[in-house]
Amino acid sequence: MIPTLLRLARVGWTLARYDVLFPKELTGRLPAAGRIVGQIARIGGPKVDGDIGARMSVALEELGPAWIKFGQFLATRPDIIGAEAAHGLSRLKDKLAPFSQAEARKVLSDAFVGDADRLFGDLGPPIAAASIAQVHKITDPDGRQWAVKLLRPDIERLIARELKGMMLVARTVELFFKASRRLKPVPFVETVGAALTKELDLRREAGAGDAFGEVVAYDGYLAAPKIDWTRSAQRVLVTSWVDGKPLTDPTALDGHDRVVTAQKVTRGFLAAALDHGMFHADMHEGNLIIAPDGTLFAIDFGIMGRLGANEQRFLAEILFGFLRRDYRRVAEVHFEAGYVPADQDVGEFSNSLRAIGEPIWGRPAREVSMGRLLLQLLDTTEHFGMAMRPELVLLQKTMVQVEGVARAIDPDHDIWETSRVVVERFIRRELGPEGQVRRVLGEVEAGLAALRKLPALVERLEADANRKR
């Protein structure tokens, strides 16, 4: 317990020094003790330009891997920390100094006892090092190049230790600050812990990357590296090497069509989400690599989003409704999906949606944000009794990120018109005659399945009745 408290003291002091714990923006709302501690901590503290989100991102980088990941998850929850802070946290640099070549070799030896030298040959030096893992490059005897991702030594123990501290903070906040309970700090930390645990098993990332590769191959807007299953394990992930430049490279798009590349980013994201119910939830420029032939690869599948059939239809109909300025239909979709309680007024809700949608029409494409519209939509639905749904919040956060990448490529990128082809295709397929027939057949099949269970149910009821006699 004492080591945990000491670590928490370090965390608190670091956050205070970076003007995060008792931020100057909230001085008027802080108790006297908080104002005094904040002023003392800021004396001689590091100077970081930007809002509280930007300052928090630098502080979390200093605190280490678990806190970096915590910040990344906070960036997906603008409903909890606010849109501005979430945007600042999205700039978290998930980079650390690499661990040694000897330690990398030990990771491989432990994972492939007796076979590491044969399978991995001459392991190159690390080419990228993040908070959880680092990447090396190898060339096999046939001349093919592969990327080898290795978990950091002892990262599991480090993450588990820091999660204990986070949980203690969450419980303390819930105990002493009743207003925080609606934000559910303890369940949020539990969610972060579960997600981090998944990231510590690279077999999960391999499965996600393989599935995503199949999904994006349907349209070809994006591509994904191939998984080498024979050389992947819990702490090792091997994928085909992507020969190209990340979009963080200022020269990456030289010689490429910027308009087409921006369209690939937007359509690739939406097609995967709408048509297949999964999306890459960390599509920043560093995770997008453009090959010499113009193929755009997505890499790093540690954070993936999932949508159920209802959420896919919900997203498509909302976007379609806004494209047609049919706010009544957008409102009805919320009620049909059960997102807004039935006791709310659909007409009033429709008028609120109109107030969101109408201001965007007639403005230049570069000034119209689909992601921010969805954020306003989530804010509005909360006033009408809709509970925040994590999958939709993650979707909105990723859409803002995708928009930012697309417009960095092409400043005049029109995300609405670019999306139209994907959205209208979904509407025709799922809500047209073919989709209606498919839904009816599904309902019939469900009904037949229920009928098949009926005799067994009757037998159980008769048996219960006989026992009670």
Longest Cα separation, the chain: 85
Q: How confident is the model at residue 310 (pLDDT cuts 50, 70, 90)?
A: confident
Q: How confident is the model at residue 53 (pLDDT cuts 50, 70, 90)?
A: confident
Does the annotation mark 282 as catalytic? Answer: yes
- The active-site residue out of 282, 300, 410, 414 is 282
Instruction: Convert the pLDDT of each residue in 401-448 to its tens digit.
Output: 888 889 889 988 888 889 889 999 999 888 765 555 444 444 445 555
- Residue 390 is predicted with a pLDDT of 66
- Average pLDDT score over residue span 193-222: 91
- Whether the full predicted model's pTM is greater than 0.85, yes or no, is no
pLDDT at 242 over 80: yes
